[in-house]
Amino acid sequence: MASVTFDHATRIYPGTDRPAVNDLNLHIEDGEFLVLVGPSGCGKSTSLRMLAGLEDVNSGRILIGDRDVTHVQPKDRDIAMVFQNYALYPHMTVAENMGFALKIAGVDKEEIRKRVEEAAKILDLTEYLGRKPKALSGGQRQRVAMGRAIVRQPQVFLMDEPLSNLDAKLRVSTRTQIASLQRRLGVTTVYVTHDQTEALTMGDRIAVLKDGLLQQVGTPREMYDTPVNVFVAGFIGSPAMNIGTFDVADDVALIGGARVPLPRYVLGELANDGTKKVTIGFRPESLDIVPQEDAGAIPVYVNLVEELGSDAFVYGTLASETTGQHVVPQGQEVIVRVNPRAVPAKGSVIYVKIRSGQEHIFSSVTGERIASA
């Protein structure tokens, strides 16, 4: 096994000026499961392909262990890749597909059979070894693709959105299998996805990219609790964090019709930025429903209630004024997690308050988190 290091790695595609991946610095520990996540076009798949040797590195280096593989051919990097589309040979059986790379490498037939049978046992594919891919379900095909990677016994697994072609229920069960399998094998794994739920549930650490730039690296809990900027805050979490930019007057933020006090360190940072606006984020589960007369109560006009059985979420808009049934909305959308046994009616107004210490405050100028000293 081995660690992986991106050392100022940059990829610029021919005919473009903007790097697809720009000055990426990232170290992945031996045996770690790291998830690269971000929106379409952020550079996550390009980063994986650079590590695989399928894309050139225009500047910087990539190391596997202590070995510089920047200009090493893909076949000589001791990596195995699992693709989104399975990439199985339709005329070969499951066993032949899983052992094909070993056959090409000249491995002894008995050794190939042994490795294939071991991998099939791990992946619960033993009874399917004689079948061809057309006789398998999508989940079984993806397990065969993983088996093909496992039998090679590589230093690093690379997985490029391997669950995207599966239905929602199968995706949940398969991601659990992949995560537990990786922990059993202890192989360094780099996993690419656009699904932040996959990232939070599977990775030892998560690396978030945007426009080719690394935004933040950390454990799922760190990403959720202390996002470094507005982009990470809005990207990580489902439902998404409520984020808005609000006016500041008399040391309070004006959120809807509420006046929410700001910490002294935030006021100092706003003075340095020379602005009277602040960006505040708060997660749906960080809001409590309170009486209208509570200090800091934020009025929310209820547009829709999503009932999920064990949970319920109100989708509403901030209201700047409520008088009887008359509501003056501000247009800022807000999501609130509420008691599924006591959901408010559509068209009503509820009052919520951010739990102490669970707000996330960012500079409205830079988008960076304002942290206490």
**Domain 4-235, CATH:** 3.40.50.300
CB 362 within 8 A of CB 369: yes
pLDDT (tens digit per residue) in 294-320:
888 898 999 999 999 899 999 999 886
CB 313 within 8 A of CB 284: yes
Q: Where are the alpha helices (DSSP H) in the chain?
A: 44-52, 94-104, 109-122, 138-150, 168-185, 196-202, 220-225, 230-235, 264-273
What number does CATH give the domain 242-363?
A: 2.40.50.140
Every domain of the chain and the residues it spans: 4-235, 242-363
Percentage of residues of the chain with pLDDT beyond 70: 96
- Per-residue pLDDT of 54-86, as tens digits, reads 999 999 999 999 999 999 999 899 999 888 787
Identify the pLDDT of residue 329. Answer: 53
Same fold for the domain at 4-235 and the one at 242-363?
no
What is the predicted pLDDT for the residue at 64? 97
Buried b (16+ CB within 10 A) or exposed e, 266-280: bbebbeeeeeeebbb
Instruction: Give the pTM.
Output: 0.88
Q: Could you report the per-residue pLDDT of 195-246, keeping only the tens digit for each?
A: 888 999 999 999 999 999 999 999 999 999 999 999 999 999 989 999 999 9
Convert the pLDDT of each residue in 145-184 to its tens digit.
888 988 988 999 999 988 887 777 778 888 888 888 888 8
Tens digits of residue pLDDT in 2-52:
999 999 999 999 999 899 999 999 999 999 999 999 999 999 999 999 999
Phi-psi bin for 146: left (phi > 0), alpha (psi -120 to 50), beta? alpha
First to last CA, the chain: 40
